[in-house]
Amino acid sequence: MSLLNTEELKRQIKEGTFSSLDDITNEFKAILKEVIQTASQEELTSHLGYDKHKTTDNTNSRNGYNDKTINSKYGQFDVSIPRDRESTFEPQLVKKREVLLDGSEDLILSLYTKGMSVRDIQHHLDDLYGYELSTETISNITTKVIEKANEWQSRPLEPMYPIIFMDATVLKIRVDRVVKNIAAYIMLGITLEGKKEIIGIWIGENETSKYWLTVLNDIKKRGIQDVLIFAIDGLNGFNEAIQAVYPKAEIQRCIVHQIRSSLRFVSWKDRKAVAKDLKSVYAAHNEEDAQIALTEFNDIWGTKYPNITNSWTTHWNELSTFFKYPDSVRKLIYTTNPIESLNANIKRKTKSKGSFPTEESAFKMLYLVTQEVQEKWKANSIRNWHEIYPQLSIFFSEIMSKYTK
């Protein structure tokens, strides 16, 4: 159905009715106003049970109009909504006390997700769409997200994720009037179909095995019974928690994080050479060759940088897990890169905010950003998943057999 048919549109264009985009937008607003007012009249007729000007035994009747200003993505306009004498009429298209049309809230949330502050959004709506909303109204709209975010955080999960990545991003959050750097931990799972799925977000200052035990027990209660491989950063206490909740899972410590940590205190003049010799360790053909390369690295650099060899030796069991798998699996699990790209996106979106007033506001923003990213992931699977899945089925045949159709 078209309220402005093609011939009428052509006529108005020839007559110069539309000379700018503003003219077209104003026409949209006029059409929208007409639709809302006509539809509201029909809603009231249906509610009363008789047409206007008809006689009836119904004690309820039409009782004039309420004028209200509507805010839409086309701008601001006034409408007259009919009312009834007994005040029992509840319009559905534009509800009582509703001043934002569907689509406007989505626009506000989209701007918020892109890192704009509440006040920035207020100015943006005024400049581009010509309507003013209070900061309180905008905050109330973004606050509605918390309910959805909490539902999402407690939603049922798949019984099996072959691979789970866990990494942290640091946010500035105000706590007791002091801005602190607090870690937000994001868990990303790879489904049996090779799709990326954000499992959850946790914000907290403590990295202890007890804390991680709570997190892992939470995802187990939500449905995850089996995980083949956890690819993680060096989160304190996480290994112990994994072994307690998912004892059959393998653990791969992120090689990229390990390299960064190793080079942190290396002098600038040595950095290139140290990085090259470390590469001979993690790029080795197998674990045996990697251990030989680590010994050779220690012979060259052990005296000057003993902390590097000590760290690699201490965490060798988790650093060397990927050597047992074929190249396609190795490339997927040796780093937490799939989740680091998400964290980089979060950094870009939160950069303009400075600090968050509460943990809840930080969680709200993280939820919105992750949902935006998750939507983009829907169409794509992990690269070479058609090769990776059969290989995992061989290495973890007992577990995978439970989920093979």
pLDDT in tens, 58-109: 888 888 888 887 777 667 778 888 888 888 888 766 677 665 655 566 667 7
Q: Give the residue carrying structure tokens 């009312």.
A: 83
366-385 average pLDDT score: 87
At 109, list the tokens: 């949330």
The model's pTM is: 0.72
pLDDT on residue 1: 40
How many other C-beta atoms are found inside a 10 Å radius of the C-beta of residue 405?
Answer: 3
Alpha helices (H) in 80-171, listed in sequence order: 104-113, 118-129, 135-153
The closest alpha carbon to 100, from 127, 140, 64, belongs to 140
Token pair in block for residue 28: 């949209």
Rounded-to-integer distance, Cα 308 and Cα 374, Å: 37
Residue 319 pLDDT class (50, 70, 90 cuts): very high
pLDDT of 243 over the 60 cut:
yes
Which pLDDT does position 278 carry in this prediction? Answer: 97
pLDDT at 2: 45
Name the packing angle between helices 306-314 and 268-282 (round to 10°): 30
What average pLDDT does the segment 252-272 reach? Answer: 94
Sheet holding 250-253, edge to edge: 196-204, 178-190, 160-175, 226-232, 250-253
Q: Sign of dihedral through CA atoms 367, 75, 130, 97?
A: negative
Is the predicted pLDDT of residue 198 greater than 90, yes or no?
yes
Give the separation between CA 125 and CA 73, rounded to whole angstroms. Answer: 9
Residues 175 and 182 sit within 8 Å (Cβ to Cβ): yes
Sign of the dihedral through C-alpha 54, 60, 66, 71: negative
Query: Which of 373, 330, 326, 327 has its CA nearest to residue 348?
Result: 373
pLDDT at position 48 is 85
**C-alpha pair distances (Å), 171 with each of 159, 276, 341:** 31, 33, 16
Instruction: Give the orientation angle of helix 306-314 with respect to helix 255-263, to 10 degrees.
Output: 160
Ordered DSSP codes for 185-207? EEEEEE-TTS-EEEEEEEEES--
Query: Which pLDDT score is estimated for 98?
Result: 63
Question: Residue 327: which pLDDT band, with cuts at 50, 70 and 90?
Answer: very high
Q: For residue 184, count other CB atoms closer than 10 A to its CB.
A: 23
Query: pLDDT: is 4 or 78 the higher one?
Result: 78
pLDDT at 157 over 60: yes
Q: Kind of pairing, strands 226-232 and 250-253?
A: parallel
Residue pLDDT, tens place only, 105-152:
666 776 776 667 778 877 876 776 566 667 777 777 777 778 889 999
